[in-house]
Amino acid sequence: MRRKFVPTKKYGRWTIVSPATRSASNALRWVCVCDCGSEKIVHQNTMLNGTSKSCGCLSIEMLIAQNKARNTTHGQTRGGYTAEYRAWLHLRNRCYNENVPDFHNYGGRGITVCDRWRNSYEAFFVDMGHRPSSKHTIDRIDTNGNYEPGNCRWATQVTQQNNKRSNFIVSFAGREMTLKEACREVGLNYQFIWLRIQRYGYTLQEAVSKPKRGSFDAQPLSSKFTNRELYNMFAGSDAIGVARAA
């Protein structure tokens, strides 16, 4: 028997407030308020069949509960802490534990964890969610900024390497990119070019085209282009700044 919709009844966490305009497909909708205080227009059918029970807060709370259960003592016997929980532990250690090896790159530089995250894994998990894959780890977008919502993301090692403050940002072929990306694009040894610029004061154009010894075309530096081609390609280009440490 088809269930009857009762506007005075509560559906999940939804409380019906008033009728709303019908959808484009002429489906009935209602203005509803969730237990958490959020207001939203909800389709009548989704409340009747149970596919809509809240504004989304219920799903978040269930995820937190599941993740927290996996991090209990019982959960550890089945494989240890979750990746998300380990990430939260590590970022706090980097900032506040002077005994960790890389403290000088984080807490030693004044990097901190926001109050919302420092003492609450639940808050961290609500903001960051599950990492997309095993190749993703926590990364600060502004590497001189703190661990806080809006400045953190799940990122792969390739993305994080491009975001290191030891990376030069270069202007090349009308685009801005990291020196590592430019070297990869034209077949150059990044470490060699970086040393030439950082330690020996070469300009970008000199660093990518000047042979180690001998005449200009004696020893190609690139696996894709001659030194002369590189010299012309990087004409007018330069290392215009330094990227922000991961």
CA distance 161 to 245: 9
CA 177 to chain centre: 18
Is the Cβ–Cβ distance between 208 and 186 less than 8 Å?
A: yes
The residue ranges of every structural domain in the chain are 14-55, 83-162, 168-242
pLDDT in tens, 142-167: 877 899 998 898 887 666 555 554 55
Query: What SS3 class is residue 217?
Result: coil
Query: How do residues 68-105 score in pLDDT, each as one tens digit?
Result: 665 554 333 334 578 888 888 889 888 988 877 778 88
Alpha carbon distance 141, 243 (integer Å)? 11
Run of H or E including 14? strand 14-20
Q: How far apart are CA 243 and CA 162, in angstroms?
A: 8
113-130 tens-digit pLDDT: 999 999 888 889 889 988
Report the phi/psi class of residue 228: left, alpha or beta, with left for phi > 0 and alpha for psi in -120 to 50. alpha
